[in-house]
Amino acid sequence: MTGPDDKRRTIRDVAKAAGVSISTASNALNGIGRTNAETREKVKRIADELGFRPNALARGLLTKRSHAIGMLTNDTYGRLTLPMAAGVSEILVDHGVSLFLCATNNDPRLAKLHLDALLDRQVDGIIFSATRIDLEPPPELLKLGIPVIYAFAQGPADSVSFHPDDAQGARLAVQHLQALGRSRILHITGEQNYLAARIRAEAYREASGACDVMFGEWSEEWGHTAIDAVYSQTGKKPDAIFCGSDEIARGVIGALRDRGISIPDEVAVVGFDNWEVISKQTRPPLTTLDMALKDIGRRAGLAILGLSRREKLEPGIVRHPCSLVRRASA
Domains annotated on the chain, with CATH: 4-63 (1.10.260.40), 68-164+293-321 (3.40.50.2300), 166-290 (3.40.50.2300)
pLDDT digits (tens, 9 = 90+) for 271-323: 999 999 999 999 999 999 999 999 999 999 999 999 988 899 999 999 999 99
pLDDT greater at residue 31 or residue 112? 112
The answer to whether 173 and 242 have CB atoms below 8 angstroms apart is yes
| pLDDT on residue 154 | 86
The answer to whether 234 and 204 have CB atoms below 8 angstroms apart is no
Is pLDDT of 2 > 50?
Answer: no
Is pLDDT of 61 > 80?
Answer: no
pLDDT digits (tens, 9 = 90+) for 194-236: 999 999 999 999 999 988 899 999 999 999 999 999 999 988 8
Summary mean pLDDT of the chain: 89
SS3 content of the chain, % helix, strand, coil (to 5): 45, 15, 40
The answer to whether 73 and 104 have CB atoms below 8 angstroms apart is yes
Q: Which of 35-44, 76-85, 148-157, 193-202 has the lowest mean pLDDT?
A: 35-44
CA distance 241 to 243: 6
The answer to whether 215 and 205 have CB atoms below 8 angstroms apart is no
Amino acid at 82: L
Confidence of residue 59 (pLDDT cuts 50, 70, 90): low
Q: CA geometry: angle at 219 spanning 224 and 76, to 5°?
A: 165
| pLDDT on residue 106 | 86
Is pLDDT of 64 > 70?
Answer: no
